Amino acid sequence: MNIAIVGTGYVGLVSGACFADFGHSVVCVDRETARIETLERGEVPFFEPGVAELVAKNAATGRLRFTTRLGEAVQDAGVVLLAVGTPEGEDGSADLSQIESAAVEIALHLDSRYRVIVTKSTVPVGTGQWLRQVIEQHSLQATDIDIVSNPEFLREGSAIGDFMRPDRIVIGTASGRAAELMRELYRPLYLIETPILLTDVQSAEMIKCASNAFLAMKVSFMNEIANLCDRVGADVHDVARGMGLDKRIGAKFLHPGPGYGGSCFPKDTRALAALGRRHGARQALVESTIEVNGRQRELLVQKVLDGLGGATGRVIAVLGLSFKPNTSDVREAPALYFCRALADAGARLRVFDPVAAGEAARALSDIAGQIVFAADAYDAAMGADAVVLMTEWNELRSLDLERLGALMSGRLLVDARNILDLAQVRALGFQYLCTGREQVSRAPEYV
């Protein structure tokens, strides 16, 4: 099958490489010439485990190509997937201008041959109907198209595994013809009995929005519980384990921390809240989730300020800058909020991240005079009054804490992700601050 994917960002490039690996002929399109040239050189403009190798493998076979010529890609394709950005608008709703621009250009190159236009981007409910109107309005001749919503559920850091072994495939369409074509597109997954949910376009769009909002709500709920555990002396790890053993709840997304970040949860929760307001169906739980997430970041900053007795003139090491491990994505990362807040309070920062330093340096250019990017975690800790663990990279889980402490000027160790052994850290004489178990005097013993 010939496929055109519009947009070579995270979703577009991962999807393109994976569909090519399924045996399809894929052309990835982007209007940015420099980005296409980068991909043609075999370079991937972001870090995601396994993507560079998968792109190289399928480009070498000729199944995966890159171009800036959208018209040519559309004319040769039976399926056109839209994977362009839907950034947040001023009112919190999704900005569909990139979707509209791509749709207009697609319309100008359509002929009478049948094509399926698929939205992969996260979009508000109602986008599919609007997309058809845009295409029909700008087409130069009668067209034969169907609109499909096929939302992605890729987690940064494990995107290839999520694509190749998904929990489910959601296909929203009113057309049996389009549904069969989409089944063929995902034939390798159909053969391994991956659940495929066929529904209407609006429901598929809502599934994506609701799924992300629910997971974000789960994160915020656990952070609220963790804060309460600190007050009453409970261990949030034991609480989370006890909750997670209930199959109705499940164990995932019950780990407390400094709040969610990234390209999806912050934007998608605000977009769903905005959609609810626009349709007179306020999403109160989603709005509370957003509020709790913002407050969790503020609580961490205050915890460090209280532990140090103020930040003016203090040196603070921040370990981990990406919003989660195994990605270079720093969009709305809690670590960036934390760095700015501490810099505003007068601190000097020494920071380290295994892969996201470049992205973080660009994002934190406004405080460049107060921040030093270190070569590793120990370099960051040199002369630090406090060390704060912000991202649970594997290499930060196994730090030599004695070495770390010897390099520091102070003894404050703040573990925003609860990745260190509580008993070990306290035995080494650190002033250890974590989340949801600060009054716990023992390390949990799991059988």
Distance CA 320, CA 352 (A): 6
DSSP letters for 133-182: HHHHHH-SS--EEEEEE----PPTTSHHHHHHS-S-EEEE-S-HHHHHHH
Is residue 28 part of the annotated active site? The answer reads no
What are residue 63's phi and psi, to 5 degrees?
-80, -15
Buried b (16+ CB within 10 A) or exposed e, 36-72: bebbeeeebebbbeebeebbeebbeeebbbbbeebee
Beta-carbon-side half-sphere exposure of residue 419 (alpha carbons within 13 Å): 22
* Distances from the Cα of 96 to the Cα of 83, 308, 419, angstroms: 12, 45, 39
Residue 118 three-state SS: strand
225 sits in which H/E element: helix 201-232
Distance CA 205, CA 171 (A): 10
Per the rule left: phi > 0, alpha: psi between -120 and 50, beta: everything else, 49 is beta
For residue 143 the two structure tokens come to 């067209």
What are 177-186's contacts with CB under 8 Å, separation 24+? 177/114, 177/146, 178/116, 178/146, 178/148, 181/1, 181/78, 181/79, 181/116, 182/79, 182/116, 182/118, 182/148, 182/150, 184/1, 185/1, 185/3, 185/19, 185/24, 185/79, 186/22
For residue 253 the two structure tokens come to 């997304």
Q: Which amino acid, one-letter code, is at 439? A: Q
Per the rule left: phi > 0, alpha: psi between -120 and 50, beta: everything else, 50 is left
Distance CA 387, CA 396 (A): 12
Q: Which amino acid, one-letter code, is at 225? A: I
Distance CA 397, CA 111 (A): 56
Q: Choose the catalytic residue: 28, 264, 339, 434.
A: 264
Q: Of 146, 149, 150, give the one whose Cα is nearest residue 135.
A: 146
Distance CA 41, CA 44 (A): 9
Distance CA 120, CA 117 (A): 10
The residues that are catalytic are 264
